[in-house]
Amino acid sequence: MGDRTVYDDLGVPRVVNATGTKTRIGGSRIRPEALEAMERAANEFVRLSDLQANASDLISEVTGAEAGYVTSGADAGMLLSAAAAMAGNDVDAMTQLPDTSGVPAEIIMPRTHRTGYDHAFRAAGATIVDVGTNDRALGTGSTAVELWEIENAISDRTAAIGYVQKSYTEPPLSAVTDVAAKHDVPVIVDAAAELPPKSNLSRFIEDGADLVVFSGGKAIRGPQTTGLVAGRTDLIQSIALQHLDMHAASEVWEPPEQLIDLEEIDGVPRQGIGRPMKVGKEELVGLIVALESFLDSDPNALRDRWYSDAEYISKAIESVDGVETRLVAGGDTSVASEVEVHVDSDTAACSATELVRGLRSESPRIFVGADRLDEAVVTINPMCLEDGERDYVVDRVRTHLERQ
Ligand SMILES: *Cc1c(COP(=O)(O)O)cnc(C)c1O
């Protein structure tokens, strides 16, 4: 199955990915045209601010936002968005972060929107103020958060409102941005994994978001270490100033006008809080090309292929004793179809947990979805499997589950 890989050369076990795009095991396969462009990018020099200005034009065109910026992942985009909301065009505040003395630094978030990724807000120096409850889960009809709770939390200490876009999040984004606009507070939206559909590129900007963050390494299939931010010109300028390399002689510093307006700042800022999250010319070019290809790609063809692969895998496994499979078709937002494998450990040769551990310890390692082991369910997602790998996964899964 497959040729010798660079991981074989290094003696590092490679992974057959039957769980979809997961950062821990390398995310997605980069688009070949993006990879080729990166190789060409690596051989020449370019001013990174010019390249960011070019990316800004593309991001603005595809999202409808005023401007855009390429970051080293969606999470870095969240950190930089928080830094921009706090510092604005104040060069002293930029220098001071993550120390926020004297700078409005609270980011309000509905409690049910909190995730591990919001560590990025705090890394910029912000304090997260979460509002509402988890009452929705009680099933009493009570909501998790009301708009007035968000509005009441806004004060002169507020830097932004953080909003995580998921199919289940409430209140609706447009209602939150209305309240925020009334108080002149920017709304930062984490939409890292909300592609496809392509229409989501512009949807959250249309709903009034001030900054929206997407991952470049998920469905866009750009370099793993990229993300993009789309939003207001002034906030993107602040991101650029806090991210670009700033060891510049001020007399000759002439950054691209559409990204940085020299009239609005006191002088050349020092290296900002974003400097440790640099984006190289190769990654920038890779993301630009991958984003263009993502826009050109046919979502139906992919969806049909993933559905038929999932159907094939489901049929090939369901005959094992103690195993029931269920095919879950990919929708508009969940990218690919998946197979749920329900394992009855009294009848099958092993439990769902033992299956996951067994597959992971093989060479090559096989990763299946392990998010629902508490229900004795393993999921198989075909989106990152190549042709030969599909049958290999079926064979290994059957071998573990079948009594000899
Ligand atoms: C994947 C993800 C992130 C992080 O994206 P990176 O590009 O890996 O930094 C942040 N938030 C959510 C909701 C995600 O799904």
Structure confidence by residue, pLDDT tens digits, 116-163 = 999 999 999 999 999 999 888 888 888 889 999 999 999 999 999 999
Residue 167: per-residue pLDDT: 83
Residue 204 pLDDT more than 90? Answer: yes
Mean pLDDT of the chain: 94
| Token pair listed for 191 | 């939409």
Determine whether the shortest distance from the Cβ of 165 to ligand 1 is under 6 A. Answer: no
Residue 146: per-residue pLDDT: 93
- Gap from CA of 52 to ligand 1 centroid (Å): 21
Dump pLDDT digits (tens) for 3-34: 899 999 999 999 999 998 888 999 889 999 99
- Gap from CA of 117 to ligand 1 centroid (Å): 7
Residue 332: per-residue pLDDT: 53
Residue 138: per-residue pLDDT: 84
- Gap from CA of 37 to ligand 1 centroid (Å): 24
CA distance linking residue 184 with residue 178, whole number of Å? 10
Determine whether the shortest distance from the Cβ of 309 to ligand 1 is under 6 A. Answer: no
Residue 328: burial class (beta carbons within 10 Å; 0-12, 13-18, 19+): middle
User: pLDDT above 70 covers what percent of the chain?
Assistant: 98
- Gap from CA of 194 to ligand 1 centroid (Å): 10
Ordered structural domains, the chain, with CATH: 6-26+298-401 (3.90.1150.180), 32-296 (3.40.640.10)
Atom 15 (ligand 1) nearest CA: 193
- Gap from CA of 76 to ligand 1 centroid (Å): 9
For a mutational test of ligand 1's pocket, the pick from 19, 71, 190, i.e. the residue with the most ligand atoms closer than 8 A to its C-beta, is 190
Residue 334: per-residue pLDDT: 57
For a mutational test of ligand 1's pocket, the pick from 19, 21, 23, 229, i.e. the residue with the most ligand atoms closer than 8 A to its C-beta, is 23
Dump pLDDT digits (tens) for 165-189: 988 889 999 999 999 999 999 999 9
Residue 158: burial class (beta carbons within 10 Å; 0-12, 13-18, 19+): buried
Q: Name the pTM for this structure.
A: 0.94
Residue 267: per-residue pLDDT: 87
Contacts of 364 (CB under 8 A, 6+ apart): 13, 14, 15, 16
Please give the DSSP secondary-structure letter assigned to residue 165. Answer: -
- Gap from CA of 156 to ligand 1 centroid (Å): 29
For a mutational test of ligand 1's pocket, the pick from 70, 75, 167, 226, i.e. the residue with the most ligand atoms closer than 8 A to its C-beta, is 75
